[in-house]
Structure formats: structure tokens, C-alpha cells
Structure 1
Amino acid sequence: MSEIEIFEEIKQVLASSPRNQYTMELHLQMIKFADELKNITAKEFCQGVGLQPSLGTEFSKMRNLTNRLKSAGLDVSKI
């Protein structure tokens, strides 16, 4: 899946998520696609998904957290 396809999928998921679950869904999507997006910057992620640049910090945190979660047995394909 290309970066553009990933960005579009994330946009669609976020658009359909309930308002009170938006941030949780954003974090899950960041974790789900962390490996595929490992070569982009947080700024590029935010631009691609149409988010405020301040959310780039969250992208960086979730990408770092993903390695720990996968070491503990997380299967990101189930997200």
C-alpha cells in the first residue's frame, strides 16, 4: 500500500469515527501503519492526513511505542 493510500484510509477512518473516539482512533491508525510510514517525518504524516502540525508529536510517540507493543506480542494486522 502506498503512502497516499494509507493517508486516504486514515482520513476515511477518522472521518467516520465518533467525535469522542477521534483521538483514540488516530493513535490506533498511527500504530497500525507505523512500519509502512517509518521513512516519513511527523510533518509529512500530518500534511498527508490533513492534521494540524502539532499532532506530529503524537505520530512520533506512537511510532516509538509500536516497537514496544510488537515486542509484547501485538499483531498490528488485527487493528
Structure 2
Amino acid sequence: MIPFENTWPYETINKDTYVNECPFCDARNVLIPLTAKDFQSIRSGAKKLLVFPCCYNKITLIDADSDYLLADRPLRKRH
């Protein structure tokens, strides 16, 4: 089962990929450097290092669907 705390929502508008909020510094509408080719590779099983341009925190993406990125570590804060 996929741990929900390791997921983060994203949106693709035209050829740009955004997250509404950075999971680390809470910056809004962050353009992340992922292309359609990157998503194909990730969905095929390749891992991809993603560096958030707002705060330079890094995660390793291990999968993605049309709505969520799946990282190798928790991205959501537990309450």
C-alpha cells in the first residue's frame, strides 16, 4: 500500500508543472522542473531527483500518477 504521507499533489498547465505549495518552505505556486519525458521515465520505474527551486530541498520521486507525486520519504506533516 502506498503511504499517503509520501505523496504530494501537482498540476500540469500547458508544458509547465506546478505544486500549489512547497512541502518544505510553504512557497505558493512553485514551478518544478519536470517535463513530460520525466513523467514517462518515472512512470516506467526510474527514480528522479527533484530539487525545489524555492528552497533547494530535494526529494527522490519513485512514481507519479496524473495528480500526485510519490516520494521516497514523507512530505506531509503529521498532526
TM-score bucket (shorter structure): under 0.3
Give the alignment's TM-score, normalised by structure 1. Answer: 0.26
What is the TM-score normalised by the length of structure 2?
0.26
Which structure has greater strand proportion? 2
Answer 1 or 2: which has greater helix percent: 1
